[in-house]
A = this chain, B = another copy of it.
Amino acid sequence: MYRTHTCGQLRIENVGQKVTLAGWVQKSRKLGGMTFIDLRDRYGITQLVVEADAPASLVEVATGLGREFVIQVKGEVLERQSKNPKMDTGDVEIKVEEINVLNKAVTPPFTIEDVSDGGDDLRMKYRYLDLRRNPLRKALMLRHRIAHEVRNYLDSKGFMEIETPYLIKSTPEGARDFVVPSRMNPGQFYALPQSPQTFKQLLMVAGYDRYFQIVRCFRDEDLRADRQPEFTQIDCEMSFVEQEDVLNTFEGMMRTLFKNVLGVDIPNPLPRMSWYDAMDKYGSDKPDIRYGMTIHELTEKAKGKGFSVLDGAAYIGAISVPGASEYTRKQLDELTEWVKRPQVGAKGLIYIKVNTDGTYKSSIDKFYTPEDLKVLADAAEAKAGDLILVLSGDNKRKVQTMLGVLRIEMGNRLGLRDPKVFAPLWIVDFPLLEWDDETQRFYAMHHPFTAPKPEHEAWFNSNKKEDLERVCANAYDFVLNGTELGGGSIRIHDAEMQKRMFEVLGISPEDAEYKFGFIINAFKFGAPPHGGLAFGFDRVCALFGGSDSIRDYIAFPKNNQGRDVMIDSPSKIDQEQMDELQIASTVKE
């Protein structure tokens, strides 16, 4: 060992001991003939002192140390004269007797500080240096801690971690697969898994009862800001369970994580909200319930005053923004432009100010008397000082979704979305089916193996569209602070019900056989009732860390073009390798 202690370990009790430390030079400064060096490792920082009367050779070495040099020092632990209560090791310093330079360092291209002077691209290129910074180190330590707690919890509940293969088969549905040409089977390809869904269901057929895996998944999608071509899931499946059992088990897991990792108590039991309520009140199937500002329907109350925009709307809804009645004309114009951006898609924005003096001021004063506005304000549960924002349109869910986006924006603007406050909940009672007007058919909202609620079986077997539309699925999402962290369902294990599902989805028996024949066949050999879910592990880590961005919680992420700029990948491969694989590029040079 190059050290007796780490740089985060020494305390006042160690005073007088001779110690050896090793680490990186965080910084070094001269002060009245003395040299102070901050020595850093994963565990912390310890202050080193080379005194003015130290041997000249030692002073010389100390003076020559640059940032990020790797050194080993020997010396005695002294009590500091001016203690630093912000540092764990702030009570002590090392009186240096010997310095061994283990490795020099060229000057890093950006500062290794909590806030670096390096831009995103530069820090991605030198990721191994960026990873030295505290925020990233803490992010990866948190990730390790969460993974470890997940495994301990699931192991204690009888779950077995079982590794499923990464070289699997391309599937005809879902997102795009990454594929891998097989040299031993020319002209054929493996696919990288988008999730271990098929395998985990097979493990239930195989009787493994409780499975989990923290597993990499791959999707060749065009990347958005928080998407990565490879990402990690906590993937789980259980047999002989009903929805209630799955919810209780994984609510327990999340409760344990919050408690053991963050020291946070979350409600027991967790709130549950039906998909319908989430859409009606929050305009989102992943509501942020840290704050109110819920949606109120004004459809009936707002009509009939001669304002054609509202009179012709199928749905009118509003949120009451607390304390925002002082918004200026300019602010309101800006907000109107904001909701008209294509990302939101509203045609316009109606406002009603509920002034603190009891008066109203709105953009629809021409059509609505103060009394009319009071009716609307009461319906929107607005208080004095609130700003009511109203949207309307032809499609209830679309307007609600816009109001949901607006609600999040106003939450951000008002500072209501504190990342240190955690408000998890389950969303349940999803519709099983979604009607698509264009193709005039139903689609599965989750996937075609999701079971309908037993109490809705009669509707499921009905041929009326309105019956099928109201069938709820035994499906559930775990939502935290406006982000979906996980979701799953109880699967159909009964062959007759599966057949009916394909019928409802307009999938012919031949098509079903072609697309799903393998798993349907496996189910014939005795499939138990089962269900499960998967959590997005990168996102769990980010939210636990109080961040929106998953990239800081992945050691070596890709950029938005799917590139690892550090190792410069993907890249061209040798012609020889192409020949061995019997593939050719068709790219026009």
Interface stretch, picked from A129-137, A337-345, A362-370, A462-470, is A129-137
In the assembly, what is the distance between CA of A183 and CA of B185, in Å? Answer: 22
- In the assembled complex, the CB of A550 is this many whole angstroms from the nearest CB of chain B, namely 12
* A-side interface size class: 35 or more
B216 touches A163 (CB 8 A): yes
Given A203-B555, A216-B163, is A572 in contact with B526 using a C-beta cutoff of 8 Å? no
Q: How far is the CA of A558 from the CA of B586 in the complex (A)?
A: 31
Partner of A206, one of B132, B182, B240: B132
CB under 8 Å from chain B, chain A span 49-103: 68-70, 72, 102-103
Q: Which of A129-181 contact B (CB under 8 A)?
A: 129, 131-132, 137, 140-141, 143-144, 147-148, 151, 155, 160-170, 176-181
Q: Of A184, A202, A582, which is in contact with the most chain B CB atoms at under 10 Å from its CB?
A: A184
CB contacts (< 8 Å) of A357 on chain B: these are none
Whether A494 contacts B103 in the complex (CB less than 8 A), given A189-B570, A556-B164, comes out as: yes
Nearest CB in chain B to that of A161: its residue: B144
Q: Which of A126, A218, A223, A577 has its CB near the most chain B CB atoms (within 10 A)?
A: A577
Judged by a CB distance under 8 angstroms, whether A220 is at the interface is: yes
Render A210-248 as a binary contact track against B, CB cut-off 8 A, 1 for contact.
100000101010110000011010000000111001000
> Distance in Å from the Cβ of A243 to the closest Cβ of chain B?
11
A192–B561 Cα distance when bound, in Å, is 18
Pick the residue among B23, B72, B108, B528 that contacts A22 (CB under 8 A). Answer: B528
Q: Is B103 a contact of A527 with CB atoms below 8 Å?
A: yes
Number of copies: 2
CB distance from A343 to the nearest CB of B (A): 23
Which of A69, A179, A494 gathers most chain B CB within 10 Å? A179
Q: Which residues of B contact A6 (CB under 8 A)?
A: 209
Docked CA distance A567–B188 (Å): 14
Stretch from A35-43, A285-293, A382-390 contacting the other chain:
A35-43
CA distance A164 to B127 in the complex (A): 12
Given contacts A167-B569, A180-B192, A207-B42, contact A526 B1 (CB under 8 A): no
In the complex, chain B residues whose CB is within 8 Å of the CB of A572: 187-189
Supposing A151-B151, A165-B230 touch, asked if A207 and B569 sit within 8 A by C-beta, the answer is no
Contact residues in B for A170 (Cβ distance below 8 Å): 571, 573, 577
Report yes or no: A140 in contact with B128, Cβ–Cβ below 8 A. Answer: no
Q: Report whether B180 and A178 are in contact in the complex, using a CB–CB cutoff of 8 Å.
A: yes
Check A434 for interface membership: any CB of B closer than 8 A. Answer: no
- Which of B41, B184, B199, B245 is in CB contact (< 8 Å) with A209? B41
A140 close to B162 (CB less than 8 A)? yes
A205 within 8 A of B: yes
Q: Which chain B residues border A445 with CB–CB below 8 Å?
A: none
Are the CB atoms of A103 and B493 closer together than 8 Å?
A: yes
Q: Which residues of B contact A181 (CB under 8 A)?
A: 179, 181, 583
Question: Which of A405-413, A449-457, A517-525 touches B?
Answer: A517-525
Which of these, B22, B242, B525, contacts A240 with CB under 8 Å? Answer: B22
B128, B140, B580: the one within 8 Å of A522 (CB):
B128
From A209, which residue of chain B is reached at the shortest CB distance?
A: B42
A440 contacts chain B at the CB level, 8 A cutoff: no
B570 pairs with A188, CB closer than 8 A: yes
Is A106 an interface residue when CB atoms closer than 8 A count as contact?
yes
A323 at the binding interface (Cβ < 8 Å)? no
**Contacts known (A128-B206, A144-B161, A168-B569); A582 close to B583, Cβ less than 8 A:** no
Given A169-B568, A185-B561: 14 more A-B contacts, CB < 8 Å: A42-B207, A102-B493, A103-B529, A128-B525, A144-B162, A148-B161, A162-B555, A163-B554, A164-B556, A165-B564, A166-B166, A169-B571, A184-B562, A583-B585
User: Could you give 29 example pairs across A and B, Cβ below 8 Å?
Assistant: A22-B528, A24-B207, A24-B526, A24-B528, A40-B207, A42-B210, A68-B525, A70-B526, A103-B523, A103-B529, A128-B205, A132-B207, A144-B155, A166-B230, A167-B230, A167-B558, A167-B564, A168-B567, A170-B573, A177-B577, A179-B581, A183-B220, A184-B222, A185-B562, A186-B587, A188-B571, A190-B570, A583-B583, A583-B586
- The 9 A-B residue pairs with the shortest CB-CB distance, nearest first, are A105-B526, A131-B206, A169-B569, A188-B570, A2-B240, A187-B587, A182-B570, A68-B526, A42-B209
